[in-house]
């Protein structure tokens, strides 16, 4: 039998709260008491399940001035933004989400848009919220982590945003995975 865990969280908001977000992620990993009882006090939640999926409004931002981000988005250039993404940098430095994977991001930032306004024809993003002047960022994420011996059993098939959903200042994201499992009726 496979043991899967799905964690959904909403981490600290605002551009300057990256240390708080990192600390909250670590606290959730260490503090959740789920999974195999025999390991309950010794392993954090990311090591108690064969596959762990972590998603939500993780609130990590792009560390660039808003004007620079808006200009790059107008030219549909996301690579320079990804280099400055707080979550990618936190994972790379093992400050949070150590051992987690995220598929390459190929969609526009998912925050901060005017609710109930769709993107115009040919537009790369929905209209940005000019009132609060937040830096457009990928706040909404889907990460995964597998035990070393099980990594080959999980394949990520997709990672996309749903910009047609316009009811929020966020754009929801979704990911598709293929998990190999054996049937009790299979014979070798």
pLDDT tens string 103-118:
999 999 999 999 999 9
CA neighbours closer than 13 Å in the CB half-sphere of residue 163 = 22
Q: Distance (Å, rounded) from C-alpha 12 to C-alpha 163?
A: 23
What's the predicted TM-score (pTM) here?
A: 0.91
Give the pLDDT score at 36. 62
- The DSSP H or E segment spanning 23 is helix 18-31
User: How are beta strands 4-10 and 51-57 bridged, if at all?
Assistant: parallel
Q: What is the dihedral of CA 114, 120, 123, 127, to 10 degrees?
A: -10
pLDDT at 43: 74
Q: What pLDDT, on a 0 to 100 scale, did the predictor assign at position 48?
A: 86
- The answer on pLDDT for 73 being more than 80 is yes
Joined together, the tokens standing for residue 8 give 């959904």
124 exposure class (CB count in 10 Å sphere: 0-12, 13-18, 19+): middle
């Amino acid at each position: 039998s496979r043991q899967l865990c799905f964690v959904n969280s909403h981490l600290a908001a605002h551009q300057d709260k990256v240390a708080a977000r990192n600390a909250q992620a670590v606290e959730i990993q260490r503090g959740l008491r789920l999974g195999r009882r025999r390991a309950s006090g010794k392993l954090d939640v990311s090591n108690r399940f064969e596959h762990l999926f972590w998603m939500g409004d993780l609130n990590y931002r792009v560390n660039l001035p808003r004007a620079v981000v808006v200009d790059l988005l107008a030219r549909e250039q996301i690579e320079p933004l990804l280099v400055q993404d707080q979550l990618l940098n936190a994972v790379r430095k093992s400050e949070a989400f150590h051992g987690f994977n995220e598929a390459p991001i190929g969609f526009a930032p998912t925050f901060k848009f005017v609710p109930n306004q769709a993107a115009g024809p040919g537009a790369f993003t929905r209209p940005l919220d000019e009132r609060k002047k937040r830096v457009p960022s990928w706040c909404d994420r889907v990460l995964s982590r597998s035990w070393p011996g099980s990594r080959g059993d999980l394949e990520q098939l997709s990672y996309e945003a749903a910009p047609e959903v316009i009811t929020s200042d966020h754009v929801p994201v979704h990911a598709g995975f293929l998990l190999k499992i054996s049937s009790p009726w299979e014979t070798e």
